[in-house]
Structure 1
Amino acid sequence: MLAIEGVSRRFSGKSAVSDVNLDIAAGSFVGVIGRSGAGKSTLLRMLNRLVDPSEGRIGFDGLDVTALRGQALRDWRARCAMIFQQFNLIGRLDVLTNVMMGRLNKISTTNALLQRWSREDRAMALSALEQFDIANLAAQRADSLSGGQQQRVAIARALMQEPSIILADEPIASLDPRNTKVVMDALLRINRHFGITVICNLHSLDLARSYCDRLVGMSAGRIVFDATPEALTASAARELYGLEAGEVMDAEIAPPAAASSGTGWVRPARTAA
């Protein structure tokens, strides 16, 4: 379980996140919602330790995340993978190499600098791409792909880290409706089939209701809503978003793709040496 205890973050004396307390169960799909500037991205970045808390503690299964340094911190960032709105791919490199970057914490510095990947790492990366229907793009430059394809590559790279948690910071903000559904379905399948905890910042309340099993609403850096999607009524949304409520409550979207065990979804596995 991920435990967030009294966590705050201040920038130049201004509070971005204030006294957040949350327990997040393993295997859950949590949507973090709220207006722009509510503190959602700062909260996720603190969980990954890209930003250090000003106060409070983050724990995971007995591990004090806030105390980690050096290699232990790098190990945590691999275990708590981050997916960004801007994809953060290396455009001049091919898709397969971008995906294998998820193994950097597992190989030596020399091999990382020379991009010397083992056969099993390559097989694992191809398997991850197959899961997202983009194995045919493995040899293409990352900057030649559409936004939806690039985000799927970023998710495959995160999966290569063999994470316990995936943090997705507005992963569909720049995507069209079709690619939005493809990416959200991919995150849902990862959550359902692998049991990986997903914590996802979302702007659309309809997406949050459709995909998440728990919603955490933030306003001015504080938690002001924490319940199931069914509890987020129009009235509660208006209290959370004010005049913006109508903008974030979109038209009804298609339901998530089925995530049953019969879909052929398989965790990328290491091959025998």
Structure 2
Amino acid sequence: MLRIEGLTRRFGTMTAVDNVSLEIDRGAFIGVIGRSGAGKSTLLRMINRLQDASSGRILCEGQDVTGLKGAALRDWRQSCAMIFQQFNLVGRLDVLTNVLMGRLNHVGQARSLLKLWSAEDKAIALSALEQFDIAGLAAQRAESLSGGQQQRVAIARALVQEPRIILADEPIASLDPRNTRIVMDALQRINRHYGITVVCNLHSLDLARSYCDRLVGMAQGRVVFDGAPDALTDDVARQLYGIESGEVLDGHTPVPMPAPALPAAVPA
């Protein structure tokens, strides 16, 4: 279980995340929703320790994550993978190498700098790419891929870290409807097949209701809704989003594709 206790982040006089407390069960698919500036991204970055908390604690299976340093912090980031809105791939490197970067904490920096990847590491990376139907792109430079393809590469990179948790920060914000569904289906399959906890920031309520087991609504840095998707009525959404509610209540709900069986080459 991931437990967040009184988590707060201040930037000068501005409070981005204000006294947030949550409990997230292992294997859950959580959607974090709210208007821009609500504190969603800052919350995920604090969980991953890309951003330090001003106060409060993050605990995972009893371990205090907020105090980790050095190798222990690297281990935490390996077990709590991050997927970003802008993919964060190295454009000049090929797709396979980008995915192999997810194995850094398993092989050590020296071997990775020398590209001394083992046959097992390469097999794990190729298996992950195969799961997302992009193994044929392994030798291409990442910058030559479409946005949807790049995000699938980023998800494959996260998967080969062998994480317990995946944090996805607006992973479909810059994608068209078709690639949006492909990426969300990929996250859903990872969650269901491997039992990996997924916490995903989303702007679309329709997507959140379709894919997530539980929704956490944020406004002005605080949690103002926490419950099942069907408990989030349009009236509550209008209170949460204000004048932006018309943009998120668009009525176009992509239907998730059936989750096919996945190969077991990448460990859970």
TM-score, normalisation: structure 1: 0.96
> C-alpha separation between the residues in 1 aligned to 2:254 and 2:241?
24
Q: Which secondary structure state, in structure 1, belongs to the residue aligned with residue 148 of structure 2?
A: helix
1:185-209 Cα deviation digits (max 9, x unpaired): 0000000010000000000000000
> C-alpha separation between the residues in 2 aligned to 1:268 and 1:237?
41
Q: Which residue of 2 aligns with 1:268?
A: 265
> C-alpha separation between the residues in 1 aligned to 2:84 and 2:265?
22
Deviation of 1:145 (Å): 0.3
Within 5 Å, give how 1:1-273 maps onto structure 2: 1-259=1-259, 263-269=260-266
Aligned residues of 1:194 and 1:267 also touching (Cα < 8 A): no
Deviation of 1:113 (Å): 1.3
Q: Which secondary structure state, in structure 2, belongs to the residue aligned with residue 22 of structure 1?
A: strand
Q: Which secondary structure state, in structure 1, belongs to the residue aligned with residue 32 of structure 2?
A: strand
> C-alpha separation between the residues in 2 aligned to 1:202 and 1:111?
37
> C-alpha separation between the residues in 2 aligned to 1:108 and 1:95?
20
1:45-104 Cα deviation digits (max 9, x unpaired): 000000010000000001110110000000000000000000000000000000000001
Aligned residues of 2:160 and 2:266 also touching (Cα < 8 A): no
> What is the identity percentage for the equivalent residue pairs of Structure 1 and Structure 2?
70
Q: Which secondary structure state, in structure 2, belongs to the residue aligned with residue 252 of structure 1?
A: coil
> C-alpha separation between the residues in 2 aligned to 1:187 and 1:53?
27
Aligned residues of 1:125 and 1:268 also touching (Cα < 8 A): no
Deviation of 1:253 (Å): 2.5
Deviation of 1:38 (Å): 0.3
> C-alpha separation between the residues in 1 aligned to 2:187 and 2:156?
10
Structure 2: gaps (5+ residues): none
Runs of 4+ in 1 over 4 A off after TM superposition: none
Range with bigger deviation, 210-219 or 112-121: 112-121
Deviation of 1:126 (Å): 0.4
1:152-207 Cα deviation digits (max 9, x unpaired): 00000000100000000000000000000000000000000100000000000000
Deviation of 1:264 (Å): 2.8
Q: Which secondary structure state, in structure 2, belongs to the residue aligned with residue 243 of structure 1?
A: helix
Structure 1: gaps (5+ residues): none
Aligned residues of 1:128 and 1:267 also touching (Cα < 8 A): no
Deviation of 1:109 (Å): 2.4
> C-alpha separation between the residues in 1 aligned to 2:81 and 2:227?
25
> C-alpha separation between the residues in 1 aligned to 2:222 and 2:264?
36
Deviation of 1:106 (Å): 1.1
> C-alpha separation between the residues in 2 aligned to 1:2 and 1:122?
31
1:232-252 Cα deviation digits (max 9, x unpaired): 111000000011101111232
Aligned residues of 1:34 and 1:240 also touching (Cα < 8 A): yes
Write the letter of the residue equivalent to 1:113. Answer: L
Alignment length (residue pairs): 267
Aligned residues of 1:219 and 1:240 also touching (Cα < 8 A): yes
Aligned residues of 1:215 and 1:226 also touching (Cα < 8 A): yes
TM-score, normalisation: structure 2: 0.98
Deviation of 1:116 (Å): 1.2
